[in-house]
């Protein structure tokens, strides 16, 4: 069982924050995102990698991020910075490490070995960027590679590039890859985040992408700009109607069970145990969102 299975927490909006941008690191403390990915990889130029690492470590140490989940995306172990990034993450107060371009379970195991060597706390989880064709083919083994595995993050930009696929509104060229990773995550009992939307001027397209991701089953969306947080928070949160119906399902099922009835009907629809489990998940997620007080 993965470490994150027992805990439901909101991950509607998870914003990438470049480690080299001091202004963005400071502003992140005030944003209503559920999570922040402090990035040392793609958004940081080679000549400032080490400076960015120190910026992020200092920001995390100073705190002020409230209940936001803090991720640290490191450079790969096949780069000059990866080992030091992982060692630094192990000493930080981050909640999770994000590994880039994971194409097999060996990458996870190697990173976990470094974290053990660095005496990382047990609660520091490892999340995997799913952004290569080989990673898609090994999604199940990646999702079960370690008890530290906290979740999967779709890297759809890199994936589209590697697949020679187009960025279409319905993302049809990527549905196979998205589905494989969703199946792997749900089978392993871990969360999974959808990839970014690149056109910041297209609010309508972004909302449609969030809606599709929510309908597919993703827990939330990774973001590249603060202006997109509100839409992601709204789309990936249960509506008031969904929460009220979930509560009605739970009450009706409990009353029927207490009366020894085997059949439960709510609003004209048959309710089974699987509907009750989902109803409880919706209520817990709603309560977790309310408890964060950040959006």
Residues 6+ apart with CB under 8 A from 168: none
Q: Do 54 and 183 lie in a common domain?
A: yes
Cut 0.85: pTM above it: yes
Assess whether 275 and 134 both reside in one domain. no
Identify whether residues 139 and 258 lie together within a single domain.
Answer: no
Tokens encoding 234: 């709204």
Assess if residue 7 is contained within a domain. Answer: no
**Type and span of the H or E element at 257:** helix 240-258
pLDDT in tens, the chain (295 residues): 343 344 789 999 999 999 999 999 999 999 999 999 999 999 999 999 999 999 999 999 999 999 999 999 999 999 999 999 999 999 999 999 999 999 999 999 999 999 999 999 999 999 999 999 999 999 999 999 999 999 999 999 999 999 999 989 899 999 999 999 999 999 999 999 999 999 999 999 999 999 999 999 999 999 999 999 999 999 999 999 999 999 989 998 888 888 787 678 888 777 777 888 889 999 999 999 988 765 4
CA dist 248 and 85 (Å) reads: 48
Structural domain count, the chain? 2
Count other Cβ atoms within 10 Å, centred on residue 225: 12
Containing structural domain, residue 18: 13-236
Residue 196 placed within a domain: yes
- Residue 3 belongs to some domain of the structure: no
Q: Are 278 and 214 within one domain? A: no
Domain closes at, from 236, 254, 270: 236
Q: How far separated are the first and last CA of the chain, in Å rounded?
A: 30
Are 126 and 54 part of one and the same domain? yes
Phi, psi of 106 (to 5 degrees): -60, -35
């Amino acid at each position: 069982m993965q470490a994150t299975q027992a805990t439901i927490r909101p991950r509607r909006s998870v914003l990438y924050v470049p480690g080299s941008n001091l202004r963005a690191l400071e502003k992140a403390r005030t944003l209503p995102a559920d999570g922040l990915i402090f990035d040392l990889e793609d958004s940081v130029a080679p000549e400032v990698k080490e400076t960015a690492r120190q910026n992020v470590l200092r920001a995390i140490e100073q705190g002020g991020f409230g209940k936001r989940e803090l991720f640290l995306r490191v450079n790969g172990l096949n780069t000059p910075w990866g080992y030091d990034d992982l060692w630094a993450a192990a000493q930080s107060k981050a909640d999770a490490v994000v590994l880039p371009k994971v194409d097999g379970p060996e990458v996870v195991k190697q990173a976990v070995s470094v974290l053990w060597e660095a005496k990382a706390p047990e609660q520091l989880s490892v999340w995997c960027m799913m952004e290569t064709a080989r990673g898609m083919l090994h999604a199940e083994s990646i999702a079960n590679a370690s008890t530290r595995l906290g979740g999967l993050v779709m890297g759809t930009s890199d994936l589209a590039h590697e697949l020679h696929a187009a960025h279409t509104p319905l993302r049809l060229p990527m549905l196979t890859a998205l589905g494989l990773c969703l199946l792997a995550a749900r089978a392993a009992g871990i969360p999974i985040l959808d990839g970014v939307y690149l056109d910041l001027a297209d609010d309508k397209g972004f909302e449609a992408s969030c809606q599709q991701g929510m309908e597919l089953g993703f827990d939330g969306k990774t973001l590249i700009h603060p202006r997109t947080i509100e839409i992601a928070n709204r789309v990936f949160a249960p509506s008031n109607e969904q929460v009220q119906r979930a509560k009605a399902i739970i009450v009706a099922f409990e009353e029927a069970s207490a009366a020894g009835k085997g059949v439960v009907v709510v609003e004209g629809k048959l309710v089974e145990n699987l509907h009750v489990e989902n109803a409880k998940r919706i209520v817990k997620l709603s309560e977790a969102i309310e408890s964060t007080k950040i959006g």
